Structure 1
């Protein structure tokens, strides 16, 4: 293996690549990983040297705190290759800031910017061949951190492992999904960790989503934990509602994640003259809007799928099919966001970062 040093990052390159064994036309989201990963340990109160090394399993003590008390956070980002073969990141500063907010909320150390950003950029450069051209093709970036102290005493970990792994992806969802509006289960509660990208948030969603799947629905639209009347997120995504020609989404809070795609779509909509409202929206409001014909669209927004179209929703025992509108805001906004991400349109917001 070749070992080099760039700044304070140690680089150990894999002697071979598995890229030729990957069919990039039939990728399953998040199943294939590139040749290298970044690893950095926090031990004895300080961050140690980050290392880029061949992608491989690592050993952990069975009593590591992450297994018993769930100290685990992550982020989701993407890198894109444009038609000129240049590689771009999209708003990485937002993911970095949110990662450290999650770390603080779960009593974990903040990751220094030079480890996160410099390590991320160097890792992508090394595995750049895994990023393919074409709309929908991207490199999914998964930074994460886990508690690694051993011992099953119920207390925060003192040691941590920060990693970044990379996965080549195509479009995450295809087609439209049908959803159930939750009237019992909640994604998050006031005072909880709903605003953090904590692993446990997603684990808690799996069971109610499984129940929805068994009834023929793909996702759940989550409601507030107190009254179950306020619509908050859809599956693992932020959610938008179009009533007449107004785009509405819930404000971020302790329960709702500050989604990078969410705020990017809002900014594009506002720039292009689409009326937006960031406010609480209730189940009764969208049911009434459906009945009077003013509910035009519902769609999810997130890094993986960008936009996920919703065909209809069930509340209690009644199903509401959404109309097929010709001028979908979801489609327009996705195309405009993708054009910025793939350097096909001017980035008037200064969101993109060239590698």
Structure 2
């Protein structure tokens, strides 16, 4: 039977980072993945340019049922540490918005960088190799994978979540957790477009493809970014952000002209030039198709001078304070990440090792730590992989 100091299941961001760090410490490392290529979610991220971190990363940018768990790893391996690695490989990058860093060229550069780092420390990568069985042994673990029996002292589960099944995502990591008695927080799609019921979709049909800047709120949580009307509901960065907090049956509140008191602006426009249409006045603050739809659905006919405050107030509220109740999301098919996962109360926050099962680690997306949109989830992958790599 082949033996290694460390076997890592999953050749994604967290798994490769862990392999690099373990290899630097002189450990013999084997990385297994059922996919045909390593780092597939890295490859498609950021529109193919990989939003590899966010310089504004802090623990408040993450959701978890155990607040504070993520602090240790994020403080031990910071965005500047990954940027230094990128710079050493002469990968050009730029800051887009809100601290988001992207490759100037291709996400493939990040994958190649990680593979090169793994090769330099002697980590063995075996793709298209599914793990069929895992057993606990006196010296660690025994795995049946690719028709072989392989042993290790430390086993790291870096299999990701359920999001984007077409990229090979599965719930395998949660099955491993269950096998070893590690609790799992219920999972759900996160950073995902939200959907509306058929009647509302029919009414909003003319807006499909319309984008605008918006402030979206769920309770006390608010995000101000771009929003997009789709044939199924709402998408865009602001919507993806709030989706991680939204639950079925909840409303979200949208201000589609943030920073503008649309009611006051319409009244001022009426006093200044009452002969213009309400649509023209409203379209100064929102896309014209949205302005036209709101006026049409209000039933008002006439110029701005004919519009009383009782007409203008509902129109303004429909822009500044639209409350809507999505019926669902587009699910794991398009979700960027999975919310929930391996319960962090069962893990050591410094090493990501299972407290009750020495030698067993869970890192990356499979763990119940979910970041905001904008490079935060990659930073968690790097940080959790790095932290486990110092211990395995």
TM-score, with structure 1 as normaliser:
0.25
Structure with bigger RCO (C-alpha 8 Å, 6+ apart)? 2
The structure richer in strand per residue is: 1
The structure richer in helix per residue is: 2
**Larger gyration radius, structure 1 or structure 2:** 2
TM-score, with structure 2 as normaliser:
0.23
